[in-house]
Structures are given as structure tokens and as C-alpha cells.
Chain A
Amino acid sequence: MAALTATAPARPVPARGPRRLARRRLPIWHLLWLVVAAAYFVVPVVSLLEFSFGGRVGGHAAGFHWYLTVFNDPSFRSSFLLSVRIAIETVVLSNLLLVPSVFWIHLRLPHLRPVMNFVSVLPFVVPPIVLIVGLIPFLSPFTFLYSRPEVLAFIYVVFALPFLYRSLDAGLRAIDLRTLAEASANCGASSASTLLRVVLPNLRAAVIGGSFLTVAIAMGEFTISSLLSFNTFPVYIFNIGENTGNEAAALSVISLLLTWAFMVGLFIVGRGGRAGAQVAATR
């Protein structure tokens, strides 16, 4: 049982020894640490909420004033829509690139899997602030790409790769790919139609889970978009924060709720999934 739960931490441990028939309480020491952790999680969020509803406007409490202010700011709309657009492009691009490749590696080139495991660690070794230093001189001659926000999507694919790859890799390992592929080939299907009509429906959870993480990365990324001077949503929040703290707090709450919605979505799709694949924010 331990071996099973080791890869699926979200599942509760069902093993209870015969000695523990009566329900026993969690020792106070453990309870204390859980309370500290919970407080650490909650207090900053509550403070943020307080600031987003805080201050006085025209003699009475602000209420939703800061939220309404940012909603009516045309830059809010444009930066938010820009981030959504880049996020969608990143998801489409990374799936188009990775789904066929990972399928092909599992089916025909399994000896390349260790190489892929290594490659999927590289984006950690080269964090955004480092990669951008190398990318600027390399990409700036290609002005047709470099001057458009789409360049962000192309770069974010690199940072989404480890998470999408791990999600797809786990998904493909969970199905009997060889048998499915042979059965499909016996029915006269090409590799492409095997992928589209047999494998992909079985990978739905892996694709959706990996895509949620990819959206979370693309919507929250600040380093590269600010250094390339694109006014994405996080860059907009940062610029607002230079002037009014309350508005920045309201925007942070919106951003936070969005990220958490994606994480809850991920939890529902993957039922917790693999622990390592739940963390994808770029800092």
C-alpha cells in the first residue's frame, strides 16, 4: 500500500492497524503546525482582501470602489485580453508540439525517454531571467516575431514544457499504448489517426491538466513580458501598484482567484494527480 500511495499523495492512507479501532486524536504538536501553516496561507490573502476593500472614498467606505475603478480602466481590458490571448496561443502551441512528439517517443523511440526527462529539467536550470539574457540578442534580428506579443507565447512554451511533458508522460504510461496502437493498425489506421482517434481520447485528462498549468504560467508570467516591454496583465498590475496600492490589491485578488480557479480545475480533472506537477508558477 505504501508503494501505491507514494505516487498518489492526494489519496488518503486507508491502512489502519487492528490496534487503532477507536478513533484517536491528532497530537497537539501536529495540530499546532497545521494551524501555523493554515495561518501562513490565509493571513496574507485576508490582508490583500482588506486592502482591496480598504480606504475611504468621498467620505464613506470604499467597498467595491477599487474593483470598479480597475474594471473601468481601458488598460485593464487590453492587458487582460493580451494575457488571455498569449495564454491560449501558448496552450495550442505547446500541445501541438508536445502531444505528437511524446506519443511518438512512447511508441517508437522509448530509448529517448531518459533524454526527454533530462530536457524537461533544463527550464529549471535556465530560469526566465537567465534565458531572456540569451534570447534578446538571438531573437531581436527577427523583428517580425520579436516586435509582436506572440514572441511571449513562443518563449512560454519552453517553461510550460516540463509540466505538460510530465502530465503527458504520466498519461501515456497509464494506458497500454502498444496494444492500442497494434489494434488500431490492424484495423487499418495510420499513425496519425491512431493518435487522433485512439490515443488522444485516452489522454484527455493529461492534456487538460497540463494545459491548466500552462495557462497559469502564461497568465502570471512577469519577468519576460516586462523586460520585453509588453503590457501583459502582471505588468499592468505592477504599474498600477507604483501609484495606488488599493487598486493593485484589487487586481491581485482578481489574479489570485484566476490562478486558484485553474488549480481547482486541475485538481478536479486529475483528482490531485502527481504532486510535482501541481506547481508551475514562474517567480
Chain B
Amino acid sequence: MLRYLGVVPLGAYLLVFLLIPTGELVVDAFRDPSGTFTLSNVTTIFQAQYLSSFAASLELSALAALFGGILGFFAATAVVHPNAPRLVRSSVTTFSGMAANFAGIPLAFAFTSTLGATGVITVAFRHVGVSLAAVNPDATTLGLALVYTYFEFPLMLLLLVPALDGLKREWREAATNLGASGFTYWRTVALPILVPSLLGATVLLFGGAFSAYATAYALSGSTGNLVTELIGNLTNGNVTVDPQLAYALAFGMIVIITVLMVIYGLLQRRASRWLR
């Protein structure tokens, strides 16, 4: 039993800085300010204005996961293509690591410089008479989703390359020998095998967009309507303006992300069946 002493410091640390604060938050979501049990905090978040925040966050996450997923998937299939030069593979994975870590405040300014009201691309399109107001990252969900795509697609690529490597050459050759075109091979062999990996990676992308705060806050300021921005507005240093509401919203986020992680875990188990 003494050997368990070796993990006491780590366990205690996690207890103090992760588990107890999170546990208290969940408990406090079901308490009124005097400490008695109540459901009113949690029922509050079902009011229209907070539901619309959750809907906005989910919509943004879905768009970001979709864009990032599509671009990441096709870039990944190009990278693992047998005719792709070696240099492409190593450089794309390195750049993906770099892009996936480019987030937060600097990323927000990069996209303001690109697609914002006076952004380089916006101005260039204005010269040929096309307005890009619909994808302005400072003001539109679509624009913000394009910002998130910047770190989402490289993440998709990094997650998918190992799965695509798991597709055996023999499967493709067998399909070709049976007369399958490239499209038929993808539709009937590769995609069915890849579906759990694809969905699993998309779920991770969705979760990443759902819990993001810094980038969105830097772009839309305190006017944003995302759940994370709402929690940020309620929480400020020593003063939590409406702690009960903040607990309830944070609890709602934990529930949603937990569901996502469970789905991801199940998909991972399914994905590992073929790809070993």
C-alpha cells in the first residue's frame, strides 16, 4: 500500500485545482445563494435568451467542424496519396502542427486583417464589386467559423493521417482488380472503414470550437452571444456578477462536452476494429 504514496502529490494537486472546483461548480449549479438545493438555476438556462446562446455556440461549432472537417479530410487524402512527394507529407504535418497551435488573440487579429471591414481580402474583393460582409469575422457566425477553421482543419488532418495510413494497399488493389473505379473504391471500401475515424475527429473539432473563448471574445468584444462569451461576461476577477447563472451555464457546457467525449470514445473503439 505504501507504493500509493508516490501518486499522492499528483492526486492532491488535481483534486485542488481541477476536481474540487469542478465538483463545487456542479453542486453550486443546483444551489441558491444561501446554499439550499434548487433547480431554478438550471431551469433558468432554458429561457429563450440562454437557449439562443447555446444554439449560437452549437451552430458555430457545427459550421467550424464541417469546414475544418472537409478541408482537413481532403488535404489528408492528398498527403497520404502514394504519388505525393515525401517532402509534401513531412512539411504538411509540420505546418499543420503550427497552424493548429495558432489560436487565441493573434489569430483573431490575423483574420481581422484578412476578412475584416478593411481586411486585405475584403478590400481586394471590393475592387471587383463583391462584398464580403457576410463572412466578416467581427460580426458574423459564418466569419467566425472560418476563423476557427484555421486551427480546425490542421487538427482534422493530424487526426486523420494515421487512419488513412491504416487503409491497406491490398484493399485498393483488390478493388481495382475487381473493376472498381477510384470513386467506387472510396464509396464501398475506404469510406465505410473510415466512418468512425471521420466522425470521431469531427466530434473533437466540434468540441474544440464549442469550448473556445479567447478568439471569439477578441473578435466580437462583449457583444458576443456565445455561451463561452456569456460566461466570460458574468465572470470578472473577484466579482462574479451573477454566480448562480454562471454555474448553471458552465454546468450546461460540461454536460454537452461530456456527451461529446462519450460519443468520441465509442467511435474510437469502433475505429480501432479495422485500423491496426
Contacts and interface: CB of A to CB of B under 8 A. Distances in A.
Q: Do A and B bind each other?
A: yes
Interface residues of A, number: 105
Interface string A8-30: 01101101110010011111001
Contact of B17 (A137, A155, A248, A255): A155
A272 B173 CA distance: 30
A36 B119 CA distance: 19
Interface string A228-251: 110000100110010001001101
Interface string B205-218: 00110011111011
A222 interface: yes
Nearest to A19: B173
Interface stretch (A58-66, A121-129, A171-179, A182-190): A121-129
A16 B81 CA distance: 11
Contact of B3 (A108, A154, A238): A108
Nearest to B5: A104
Contact of B110 (A44, A101, A283): A44
Interface string A93-132: 0000110110011001100100000010111111111111
A75 interface: no
A229 B236 CA distance: 8
B7 to A, nearest CB: 5
A248 B214 CA distance: 15
Interface stretch (A84-92, A199-207, A259-267): A259-267
Interface in A28-54: 30-31, 33-34, 36-37, 40-41, 43-48, 50-51
B250 A134 contact: yes
A134 B110 CA distance: 32
A130 B49 CA distance: 20
Contacts, number: 318
Given A9-B165, A275-B159, A140 B232 contact: no
B220 interface: no
Contacts of A227: 232, 235-237
A6 interface: yes
A138 interface: yes
B105 A223 contact: no
Contact of A101 (B6, B208, B215): B6
A282 interface: yes
B3 A43 contact: no
B104 A40 contact: no
Given A33-B71, A43-B114, A97-B9, A216 B18 contact: no
B181 interface: no
A43 B113 CA distance: 10
A93 B241 CA distance: 32
A276 B218 CA distance: 27
B14 A158 contact: yes
B113 A50 contact: yes
B28, B159, B218: most-surrounded residue (chain A CB, <10 A): B218
A252 B110 contact: yes
B18 to A, nearest CB: 5
A170 interface: no
Given A2-B166, A109-B6, A278-B158, 12 more contacts: A16-B82, A33-B77, A37-B153, A40-B71, A41-B150, A47-B110, A101-B6, A123-B18, A131-B21, A234-B105, A256-B110, A260-B98
Q: Which 3 A-B pairs have the closest CB atoms?
A: A127-B211, A134-B25, A134-B21
